[in-house]
Amino acid sequence: MATTPTKTIAFIHGLWMHRTSWQAWQDLFEQNGYKTVALSWPGDSDTIAASRANPEPIGNRGVKEIADYLEQQIKALPEKPILIGHSFGGLLTQILLGRGVAVAGVAIDPAPIKGVWQLPFSALRASFGILSNPFNISKAVSLSFDQFRFGFANAVSEQEARELYEKWPIPAPARPLFQAAMATFIGSETKVNTDNSTRGPLLITAGEKDHIARQYLAWRHLKNTTRVW
């Protein structure tokens, strides 16, 4: 008997973003007949302003804790969703897809999974301000405008970048960044279960001008995941 196609999409934000940053995407998909939900990370407040005002609960959250928290929200949905995640949300999308809690996934400019170690210099530069201070690991850290401009808004005008900076970024836990940076040597929190042959399809995209997840990095992701097809 044929199954009804999934009509639920769950969006996963990345570091320094809030779930409300997906609102325009939610509006678009809902206008085309989908049900949508934007998932939150542990410690996130309900609004950007509240998250900025009270960043302490956001800090010291690792990748596994965040993935487990997202999984709880997903399992509360009436059906298995399609996951769409950006940046670190793209990495979490792959982790959750490997756990079998979604029917398909889209990873937009994803952070690297364990096994993808050939990072572009621009990605290292984008993270250096946080990784250069080991005391950041347990904290919620904010981006300066220059860091945001380089990592998120390098393809738009400075004026638009400043408008985006005022509107969207919130403090983010630094621990996932350290875990991703050290994954080649220690730790398994960014490991994806690519041996799960029953998981749904995965689409990975990368931006030509993206300073963090460039096109060849997406190819490295695919080399580490295609054996499941």
List pLDDT tens digits, range 84-120.
999 999 999 999 999 999 999 999 988 888 766 555 5
Is residue 60 predicted with pLDDT exceeding 90?
yes
- The CATH H-level (homologous superfamily) assignment of domain 8-228 is Alpha/Beta hydrolase fold, catalytic domain (3.40.50.1820)
Query: Going by C-beta distance under 8 Å and a sequence separation of 6 or more, which residues neighbour residue 43?
Result: 57, 58, 59, 61, 140, 173
The share of the chain scoring above pLDDT 90, in percent, equals 62
Q: Can you give the C-alpha Rg of the chain in angstroms?
A: 17
List, for residues 155-179, the tens digit of each pLDDT value: 899 999 999 999 999 999 999 989 9
pTM: 0.88
How many angstroms separate the CA atoms of 90 and 100, rounded?
Answer: 16
pLDDT, residue 71, reads: 98
Q: Which residue has the tokens 């999974």?
A: 113
pLDDT, residue 205, reads: 87
pLDDT, residue 75, reads: 98
Is the distance from CB of 146 to CB of 126 less than 8 angstroms? no
